Amino acid sequence: MDFKILAVGDVVGNPGMDRICRSLCYLKRKVNADFVVVNGENAAVVGMTPEQAEDIFDAGADVITMGNHTFGKRELVPYLEDNSRVLRPANCAPQTPGQGWGVYDSKAGPVAVIDLIGRCNMDYGPDNPFLMAEKILKEVSAKITLVEFHAEATSEKLAMGYMLDGRVSALWGTHTHVPTADAQVLPKGTGYVTDLGMTGPQYSVLGIRPELSIAKFRGDLTQRYQWANGPTKLEAVLFTVDSETGLCRKAERVDLYDENTAQR
């Protein structure tokens, strides 16, 4: 039996929240998704509030993943402790609040979701994500296992994909907010994409007003980042998994864009 997993790129600011609340249920029905994972770490630009998490769940998400901005909004901390459907990176320091992976019920049986964060070109040094993946997989018995790798370097994401090929159902990257064109099934049966992209302002620099990023790179005096206005997008990948084997049969982009910009 086919089991379809929809993985949605980082939700950015109020425009991203509006888009996810407006479009996720529609997209979920359109592609017949059975299980939905949404990255929410930029819902408040830097972090996510409990109220935003509830809105993302109400929109149709089964699990929300986070990344390097997990604790940008400290009010999320008690929510993380009480809600196992929000994951922070598993290779954060062991005393960090929340959990980095979980197992969830679905029509195809247990589904394991693992959240990891990379170390290349990031602002801090979490535990080795490759060794953490090996450690967690020894504890996971679910046939369908999904991994999100929140990382900057494409090489680090690809290396993780090939290390886990045939051992997990799907692995996708987040963090760069730029969708990659390499949605595929790796040789041993793991669905893979280097980056999902983002959900939020379409004409922006990673969701932020272009003029603010331009000023930063020019060396001008800068101001606090603000999300861009205008049309929005929702970028996502759909993985079709064989529920009997846990291996992926197909990985395809299912992006949505406003106005007359065609779905890619």
Angle at 174 between CA 66 and CA 164, to 5 degrees: 100
Phi and psi at 157, nearest 5°, equal -65, -45
Can you list the positions of beta strands (E) in the chain? 2-8, 10-11, 35-39, 63-65, 86-87, 101-104, 111-117, 144-150, 170-174, 184-185, 191-193, 198-201, 232-234, 236-242, 248-253, 256-257
Distance separating alpha carbons of residues 118 and 127, to the nearest angstrom: 9
Nearest to 36 by CA among 63, 67, 9: 63
Q: Which amino acid is at 171?
A: L
Residue 69 annotated as catalytic? yes
User: Residue 260: which residues within 8 A CB-CB, separation 6 or more?
Assistant: none
In the beta sheet, which residues pair with residue 218?
none
Q: How far apart are CA 238 and CA 35, in angstroms?
A: 10
Sequence-distant (6+) residues with CB within 8 A of 168 are: 114, 137, 145, 146, 147, 190
The one catalytic residue among 69, 150, 175, 177:
69
Enzyme catalytic residues: 69
